[in-house]
Chains A and B, each alone.
Chain A
């Protein structure tokens, strides 16, 4: 899996990477979702568009993940797949389905996506995105 969870005393971080910006973004979104439920249990039945207006790269990641968290927690919409449509402005299409408690088991809670040590940069040939979550 092109992402890993980072240990932290009170909370948890996630770092994802890819050969392109788009891939790293897609992976970090799925890494977030996989903390809350198993994305393998979700089917893509409908799509939602997310537009992020942040000015910095790190801010884009924090805001995008915050909007995905809202979709999950506020609209009970579980994502299964993520596609970056454009980077400037950041437009992301997510595919998934509404939460069905008899099919989807929740495995974790995330309160918020924070700015602490949030980053999105290129290292060598790899793009890396990182955030810490309040859980």
Chain B
């Protein structure tokens, strides 16, 4: 892909602006949160052009935003954030992504490094056996048509009612794992057929399960409120809505591409196909997207249950005694209806976050009561060789980025290039030297996910922390990773 040579200027240490004059049709500026180092990487491809493209969408409020893990995506860049008024704004699948509610869940334990260090391999093997994963993997949970419809409307609650986890888990999940507004009728039979057999499976690609240890605390008070402390073992789950979500996106991009013409919306990129949120097509897509998001929450809830069972098996103790509680669960590919202050007036908006995480501060009603005095936990996974972070939402983030921050490391190297650059054995050995064990169904997938394929998540997190749109709470180092 060609290097981006468009016009832009630096606003401060952490922000680049693309002025609205840069491209015909841009209604607002583009703002990219990057420092100088990350900007160099970002300009290597056309992601900044996509930030400018998003700024052409009708009704876009204030600016087209991108987080520091920005990289090229279909329609919006990954890391893109955009808000529209619900009254007269649009909705676009290109601003959400194919893996609807791809997201992350963090569990904490009362275990220490000393207690787990000789059991990492056994834990990985047990996890690998208990959590269906890998190419073409099928879930362990069989549901009929009516039950799948319940998954789409109830989300994680469906899983809890089936015995996977507890009601407390729901409290510590964005939207309580049950986003309102789903309509199973808006989800095609094809999407459901892709979804039936995959319910309760991790998937492949960049999805993973990771045993970690908290190695640095940046904000003791907030970490304490999240139940996190140095030396503690934590567990991260990264998964999404599987084939069901991918098919919902495919179906509605086609529908919206045709409908865009009907609503006389000029598109600079077909992958930005959109319709008014209040149109028949817009409403249907929103309710199908919510269904897919709920499917993903049900999926992560089931996976949580099997992770707990795996710890019970290895440590011969109940998960409650091991303290395997949920810290939080966030979606990072989603559109949400939220209230925000726009030019001093409270308005209802639809906020698209594609490869971006909601990061709300103290005072927002969406935050669980338990965290209401500190703010929402934000979970940022890195690559399997470096770190992951817990951040917290800030007031500045709420004001500048509609309460949004980064979602991960961001890819910089193609899958083909990683396969040429590293052998599986070299990768496994180099991770082992760092004290990280890995287990994967597919050797190819493992190489594609080599740490070198990603930006350094610490650099990404330093930008959002420095810019003040979220704040560092603690850092976790991986000890063991399973990939699909």
Give residues in A with beta carbon < 8 Å to B: 5, 7-12, 36, 63, 66, 70, 73-76, 99, 101, 106-109, 111-116, 132, 134-135
Complex Cα–Cα for A90 and B204 (A): 32
Cross-interface CB contact of A112 among B98, B134, B197, cutoff 8 Å: B98
The tally of CB-CB contacts under 8 A between chains A and B is 86
Cross-interface CB contact of A115 among B135, B247, B253, cutoff 8 Å: B253
Cross-interface CB contact of B416 among A5, A106, A115, A132, cutoff 8 Å: A5
Complex Cα–Cα for A63 and B136 (A): 22
Complex Cα–Cα for A66 and B248 (A): 12
A74 to chain B, nearest CB (A): 4
In chain A, what residue has the closest Cβ to B246? A111
Indicate if the CB atoms of B193 and A106 lie closer than 8 Å: no
A96 to chain B, nearest CB (A): 15
- Asked whether A107 and B135 contact (CB < 8 A) given A8-B414, A9-B412, A10-B71, the answer is yes
**In the complex, what residues of A have CB within 8 A of residue B74's CB?**
114-116, 132, 134
**In the complex, what residues of B have CB within 8 A of residue A112's CB?**
98, 246-247, 249-250
Indicate if the CB atoms of B190 and A74 lie closer than 8 Å: yes
B73 within 8 A of A: yes
Indicate if the CB atoms of A116 and B271 lie closer than 8 Å: yes
**In the complex, what residues of A have CB within 8 A of residue B412's CB?**
9
**In the complex, what residues of A have CB within 8 A of residue B254's CB?**
63, 66
Counting chain B residues whose Cβ lies within 8 A of the other chain, the interface size class is 35 or more
Indicate if the CB atoms of B1 and A8 lie closer than 8 Å: yes
Indicate if the CB atoms of A7 and B414 lie closer than 8 Å: yes
B444 within 8 A of A: yes
**In the complex, what residues of B have CB within 8 A of residue A134's CB?**
74, 98, 246
A21 to chain B, nearest CB (A): 22
Scan residues 95-145 of chain B and give those whose CB is less than 8 A from a CB of chain A: 98-99, 134-136
**In the complex, what residues of A have CB within 8 A of residue B415's CB?**
11-12, 135
**In the complex, what residues of B have CB within 8 A of residue A107's CB?**
135, 442, 444
Known: A111-B98, A111-B246. 18 other contacts (CB 8 A): A7-B414, A7-B416, A9-B411, A9-B414, A10-B72, A10-B414, A11-B415, A12-B414, A12-B416, A70-B194, A73-B246, A74-B247, A109-B136, A112-B247, A116-B269, A116-B270, A132-B74, A134-B246
B19 within 8 A of A: no
Complex Cα–Cα for A7 and B194 (A): 27
Scan residues 253-279 of chain B and give those whose CB is less than 8 A from a CB of chain A: 253-254, 257, 269-271
Complex Cα–Cα for A62 and B3 (A): 27
Hey, what's the 0/1 contact readout for B234-252 against A, CB within 8 Å counting as 1? 0000000001001101100
Complex Cα–Cα for A32 and B270 (A): 21
Indicate if the CB atoms of A74 and B194 lie closer than 8 Å: yes
Cross-interface CB contact of B250 among A76, A106, A113, A116, cutoff 8 Å: A113
**In the complex, what residues of B have CB within 8 A of residue A108's CB?**
135, 444
B417 within 8 A of A: yes
B274 to chain A, nearest CB (A): 13
Indicate if the CB atoms of B257 and A115 lie closer than 8 Å: yes
Complex Cα–Cα for A109 and B440 (A): 14
Indicate if the CB atoms of B45 and A9 lie closer than 8 Å: yes
A135 to chain B, nearest CB (A): 7
- Asked whether A109 and B73 contact (CB < 8 A) given A7-B417, A8-B414, A9-B413, the answer is no
**In the complex, what residues of B have CB within 8 A of residue A74's CB?**
190, 193-194, 243, 247
